[in-house]
Structure 1
Amino acid sequence: MLKIKLVNIDTEEVIAERVKGAYTFWSRFKGLMLTESMPKNGALHIYPCTAIHTFFMKYRIDIIYLNKEKEIVGIEEDMEPGKIGKKFMNVKSVIELPAGMIQSTSTIIGQKVAIVGQE
Structure 2
Amino acid sequence: MLIEGAPVGAPFLKIEIADSFFMRLAGLMFRKKLPQGMGLLLAPCNSVHMCFMRFSIDVIYIDKEYYILKVARDLKPWIGVSMCTKAWATLEMTAGEAARYGLIEGKKLIITSNYD
**Same fold, judged at TM 0.5 (above):** yes
- Give the aligned partner of residue 47 of structure 1: 43
The aligned residue for residue 112 of structure 2 is 116
Write out per-residue CA displacement over residues 64-116 of structure 1, whole angstroms, 9 at most, x where no aligned residue.
00011110000011110113333324100000011111122222101110221
Give the letter for the 2:98 counterpart.
I
Q: Using a 3 Å threshold, how does the CA distance of structure 1 residues 102 and 110 change in structure 2: closer, same or farther? A: same
Residues 49 and 24 of structure 1: CA distance in aligned 2, closer, same or farther (over 3 Å): same
Q: 2-side partners of 1:22 and 1:36: how far apart? A: 18
Structure 1 residue ranges without an equivalent (≥5)? 1-5
Greater share of strand residues, 1 or 2?
A: 1
Root-mean-square deviation over aligned CA pairs: 1.6
The secondary structure found in structure 1 opposite 2:22 is helix
Q: Cα distance, 1:24 vs. partner?
A: 0.6
Alpha-carbon displacement from aligned partner over 1:38-58 (angstroms, at most 9, x marks no partner): 011110000000111111010
Q: TM-score, normalised by structure 2?
A: 0.88
Query: Runs of 4 or more off by more than 6 Å in structure 1?
Result: none
- Give me the identity figure in percent: 26
